[in-house]
Amino acid sequence: MSEIREFIKKLPKAELHLHIEGSLEPELMFKLSERNKVEIPFKTVEEIRAAYEFDNLQSFLDIYYAGAAVLIKEQDFYDLTWEYLERCKEDNVIHTEIFFDPQTHTDRGISFNTAINGIHNALKDGEEKLGITSKLILCFLRHLDEDAAFKTLEEAQPHLDKFVAVGLDSSEVGHPPSKFEKVFAKAREMGLLTVAHAGEEGPPEYIWEALDLLKVSRIDHGVRSLEDEKLVDRLVKEKIPLTVCPLSNIKLCVFADMKDHNYKSLLDKGLVATINSDDPAYFGGYMNQNFIETAEALNLSKEELALSSKNAFNASFISKELKEKYCSLVDQVLK
């Protein structure tokens, strides 16, 4: 194994941008389709994998929402989350902050409780049995209206102890952050933190809106921020983290090739950039694969990889003490 791959394997990592529904591997999709007697339009696992060719975000989302239809019972959400945590263990991801999309499930008649309880119980077991700390983030689907988001936030009320923040995902272009200003204000009143996908396919203006109107602590993706110098200055000055997802960006044609990715430029400009997997079952790899492909294409140094990892711990929603502990583990590996 090359020296850089060896280093990445050993590096303690935090993941801050992972949709739990996007970690549904074809094998589990098949198993759940049989267990729950839900038909899927594929006969084999290979057929499912072969369908994962995307032109843009929407072409992926259509398949991603269809795949989620096999998730019916609390145990299914538990199994999904547990399998993801096992991948974390393999990749030395010691802290993870997971998105889930309640509306993807409630809109097809699955109760909010079923989804959140299955995910929450697996996260609890992950901490006890695998030593992986975690937080959960409730995402609103931005292609739906703000009233639907309000209804979801109401359903979430009895579970406020189980998640730390609200986020915003799904089809970006045409659905600016301003559409969700009121529901995010309500979430903040309830004591929740906020994050939002912005500047993945959408313009830099959406990142400004996420900061000014939704008061986000982090920007998910944010790779288009480099098109706006004033925005970069602000993100650097306010140390707003970007949760970048390199393999996702290639699969969804945000960049034509990993060699064209702007991840190194983000670091060079002093932005708090982090590496994440987004929807690893669909985009060809979990955390280590994202680190490896980015490092090899852009010639990232060990120092830059360690910085990416420390950026993620510092950008996470854990205590100051735990951040310091995790960052010192990174420093030990760098030495």
Residues recognised as catalytic: 200
Tokens of 126: 């992950």
15, interface contact from ligand ADE, Zn ion, none, CB < 5-8 Å by kind: none
Q: Distance between CA atoms of 265 and 226, rounded to whole angstroms?
A: 9
Q: Using CB under 6 A, which residues numbered 160 to 179 contact ligand ADE?
A: 169-170
CB of 170 to ligand ADE, least distance (A): 5
β-partners of residue 281 are none
Q: Which residues contact 307 (CB under 8 A, 6 or more apart)?
A: 267
> Binding residue for ligand ADE (CB under 6 A) from 22, 126, 246, 280?
22
CB of 279 to Zn ion, least distance (A): 7
Q: Using CB under 6 A, which residues numbered 226 to 285 contact ligand ADE?
A: 248, 278-279
> Binding-site residue total for Zn ion (CB under 5 A)?
1
> Binding-site residue total for ligand ADE (CB under 6 A)?
11
> Does 318 participate in binding ligand ADE (rule CB under 6 A)?
no
**Separation in Å, CA 226 to CA 209, 217, 312:** 16, 19, 20
Q: Distance between CA atoms of 245 and 276, rounded to whole angstroms?
A: 5
> Binding residue for ligand ADE (CB under 6 A) from 179, 197, 218, 261?
197
Q: Which residues contact 13 (CB under 8 A, 6 or more apart)?
A: 91, 92, 93, 94, 287, 291, 309, 312
CB of 220 to ligand ADE, least distance (A): 8
> Does 97 participate in binding Zn ion (rule CB under 5 A)?
no
> Binding residue for ligand ADE (CB under 6 A) from 15, 79, 200, 304?
200
Residue 260 has a CB neighbour count (10 Å cut-off) of 12
Closest to 201 (Cα-Cα) out of 153, 137, 245, 157: 245
Q: List alpha helices for the chain, DSSP H.
A: 3-10, 26-35, 45-50, 57-67, 74-90, 102-106, 112-125, 146-156, 181-189, 204-212, 229-237, 246-251, 263-268, 280-283, 287-298, 302-315, 320-334
By beta-carbon proximity to Zn ion, the closer residue of 26 and 222 is 222
> Does 278 participate in binding Zn ion (rule CB under 5 A)?
yes
By beta-carbon proximity to ligand ADE, the closer residue of 170 and 330 is 170
Residue 294 has a CB neighbour count (10 Å cut-off) of 24
Q: Using CB under 6 A, which residues numbered 205 to 224 contact ligand ADE?
A: none
Q: Kindly write out the interface string for residues 53-92 of this chain, putting x where it contacts ligand ADE by CB under 6 A and - elsewhere.
A: ----x------x----------------------------
State the greatest distance between any 2 C-alpha atoms of the chain, in Å, as a whole number. 53
Q: Distance between CA atoms of 104 and 31, rounded to whole angstroms?
A: 20
> Nearest residue to ligand ADE, using CB?
169
170, interface contact from Zn ion, ligand ADE, none, CB < 5-8 Å by kind: ligand ADE
Q: Kindly write out the interface string for residues 128-167 of this chain, putting x where it contacts ligand ADE by CB under 6 A and - elsewhere.
A: ----------------------------------------
Residues that bind ligand ADE (CB under 6 A): 19, 22, 57, 64, 169-170, 197, 200, 248, 278-279
Residues that bind Zn ion (CB under 5 A): 278
